Amino acid sequence: MSRPGSAGPATRLSIVVLPFANLGSDPEQQYFADGITDVLTTDLSRQMFVISHRTASTLRNKALDARQIGRELGVRYLLEGSVQRSGNQVRVDAQLIDAATDTHLWADRFDRDMGDLFALQDEITARIANTLNLELTIAEAVRPIRHLDALDYIFRGRALFFGKSPSRVNFTKAAGLFEQALALEPLSAETQANLAGVLVNGVAASMTASPLADLARAEALVDQALATSPNKAYAHYVKGTVLRLKGRCDYAIPEFEMARSLDRNSPGALQGLGWCMFSPGSLDRVIPLAEEAIRRWPRDLSVGFRYRMIGTVQLLQSHTGEAIVSLEKGRSAMPAGPQLHALLAAAYGLKGETERAAAELTEARRLDPDGRFSSFARVRQKVPTMIRSLYETTYFAGLRKAGMAEE
């Protein structure tokens, strides 16, 4: 996607990654700053128009303002930053700038131990690229535009889906925006994958009133997307999630692995792999995958799903106090998630905190009127056979203490 810049109007979603400055005392460390710049350029080019690293490097140490750079390269955004190493510590600062207005849209700082140099560089660039993709999508979505086109609907849908806390209302609105984009461009693999993604995630989070229909629609859409764009990482993640929800983890795992190979900035792929370890009872393999996703993408608004994974495993392993800590973090990130409230009801019940347990159970029922997470019969239908006994002695026992009666 990246190519040398040229003067002219800025492409809708376009950026140049300016050479990161080396602030350390050792000029030999410039290679590390250049590595951060180069990998970020590659990562971002998968999602948007990015000026090549070679062209961007010609701007090193030049006193140019954002507006001038934007005009000369034909880009809408600039990413600039610095790297400072001291002993075994490294600090990376990054900031996103709107080239048209020369205003700062986002800034962050990353402090890490050096450890393995390649792993450290990979983690920092992944964090920046993932956060930046979201910030750019939101920035584009809020631009005032008189006549919306398909790309506008996609930006607005992604801003709701990825930029807001997961809820049934946000999922429904995002799906509606993707539907409008699809009506304008029915053969767009990008739109097909985005609509399939919001539909299947609504099913996974129990935030839809029509899970079977949504799952079938998501599968049809993602199959169309992959037929024309087989190297689209997000589509492979969505396909893997469809297969996982259909109980076909043997087929889902290769899809998640493919998503990771195409885009190492895919927290959903790690999450999907974790759930596929969960079903056969490989609980010890679940938490490391969830923790890696949290470590790489701690500000992802879907982080509640990862804390739910960790808390569920801790609950089933009878580490009730640890489960409550994890589930409370998940609830804070995703207060509209009915399963989180049901899990907390069980955990509080096991701890003997009956009032808090009852309150969480009430909230789970309010958010889940179909009873998929607050009904013994409905939950038992979905419990993997290999860990059913663990559910009986922990989750179901806790729900009884929270006040839930057998049907």
Predicted confidence (pLDDT) per residue in 216-250, tens digit = 999 999 999 999 999 988 999 999 999 999 999 99
Q: Which fold has domain 14-140?
A: Rossmann fold (3.40.50)
Question: What does the pLDDT look like over 350-385, one tens digit per residue?
Answer: 999 999 999 999 999 898 877 776 677 777 887 888
Tokens found for residue 180: 């409008």
The dihedral built from the CA positions of residue 231, 217, 137 and 161, taken in this order, carries a sign that is negative
Contact 337, 308 (CB under 8 A): yes
Domain residue spans in the chain?
14-140, 145-223, 230-285, 301-407
Contact 294, 326 (CB under 8 A): no
Q: Which of 3.40.50.720, 1.25.40.10, 3.40.50.920, 1.20.120.1750 would CATH assign to domain 301-407?
A: 1.25.40.10
- N- to C-terminal Cα separation, the chain: 57
Average pLDDT over the chain reads 85
pLDDT at 1 over 50: no
Give pLDDT, residue 34.
Answer: 84
Q: 4: exposed, middle or buried (C-beta count within 10 Å: 0-12, 13-18, 19+)? A: exposed
Please state the φ and ψ torsions of residue 403, each to the nearest 5 degrees.
110, 10
Q: Compare 109 and 393 and report the one with higher pLDDT.
A: 393
Find the range with the poorest average confidence among 160-164, 165-169, 255-259, 301-305: 160-164
Kindly state the percentage of the chain with pLDDT values over 90: 39
Tokens found for residue 43: 């990562």
Give pLDDT, residue 379.
Answer: 79
Give pLDDT, residue 374.
Answer: 63
Give pLDDT, residue 3.
Answer: 42
Tell me the C-alpha distance between 280 and 258, whole Å.
21
Q: Which band of pLDDT confidence, cut at 50, 70 and 90, is reported for residue 147? A: low
Tell me the C-alpha distance between 65 and 72, whole Å.
11
Q: Which band of pLDDT confidence, cut at 50, 70 and 90, is reported for residue 23? A: confident
Q: Which of 1.25.40, 3.30.70, 1.10.1060, 1.10.8 would CATH assign to domain 145-223?
A: 1.25.40
Q: Confirm whether 145-223 and 301-407 share one CATH topology.
A: yes
pLDDT at 169 over 50: yes
Give pLDDT, residue 255.
Answer: 97
Distance of CA 310 to the CA centre of its chain: 16
pLDDT at 171 over 50: yes
Q: Which band of pLDDT confidence, cut at 50, 70 and 90, is reported for residue 4? A: very low
pLDDT at 315 over 80: yes
In total, the chain counts a number of residues equal to: 407
Find the range with the poorest average confidence among 24-28, 198-202, 319-323, 355-359: 24-28
pTM above 0.75, yes or no: no
Rg (CA), the chain: 23
Please state the φ and ψ torsions of residue 100, each to the nearest 5 degrees.
-70, -35
